[in-house]
Structure 1
Amino acid sequence: MFQTVLLRDHMDHSDTFASWLHEQFAYEFVAQALPDWQREFKAGQNDGNWRTVIALENGQLLGGAALAKDDSPDHPALGPWLACVLVAPLARQRGVAERLIAEICSTAKGIGHQKLYLHTHDRRDYYAKRGWEYLESFHAWGKEHSLMQRLL
Structure 2
Amino acid sequence: MDIEFLASATKYKEDVAQMVYEEFVLKIGGTKSLNDVVNYFSNTNVDQFPITLIALDDEKCVGTVSIFENDLKQRQNYKPWLASLYTLPAHRSKGVGSQLITEVLKVVKGLGYEEIYLKTENASDYYRNRGWVYVETLIDANDESIDVFKHNLN
Same fold (TM over 0.5): yes
User: What value does the CA root-mean-square deviation take over the aligned residues?
Assistant: 1.6
What is the total number of aligned residue pairs between the two structures?
A: 151
Q: 1:142 to 1:33 in 2, by over 3 A?
A: farther
Point out 4+ residue stretches in structure 1 off by more than 4 angstroms.
Answer: none
Displacement of 1:57 after TM fit?
1.1
Identity of aligned residues (%): 26
Conserved 8 A contact 1:68-1:81:
yes
Mapping of residues 1-152 of structure 1, within 5 Å: 2-26=1-25, 27=27, 30-45=30-45, 48-140=48-140, 141-152=142-153
> Which range is displaced more, 109-118 or 33-42?
33-42
Letter in 2 for 1:25: F
Q: Specify the code of the residue in structure 1 equivalent to 2:89.
A: P
Report the alpha carbon displacement of residue 29 of structure 1 after superposing the two structures with TM.
Answer: 6.3
Mapped partners of 1:90, 1:38: distance in 2: 23
Return 120-129 or 9-18, whichever deviates more.
9-18
One-letter code aligned to 1:56: L
Structure 1 window deviating more from structure 2 (124-133 vs 134-143): it is: 134-143
Q: CA deviation at 1:48?
A: 2.9
Letter in 2 for 1:94: K
Q: With structure 1 as the length reference, what TM-score do the two structures score?
A: 0.92
Q: Please, which runs of 5 or more residues in structure 2 have no aligned partner? A: none
Gaps of 5+ in 1: none
* Residues 1:19 and 1:48: Cα distance change in structure 2 (over 3 Å): farther
User: How much has 1:39 moved relative to structure 2?
Assistant: 0.9
TM-score when scaled to structure 2? 0.91
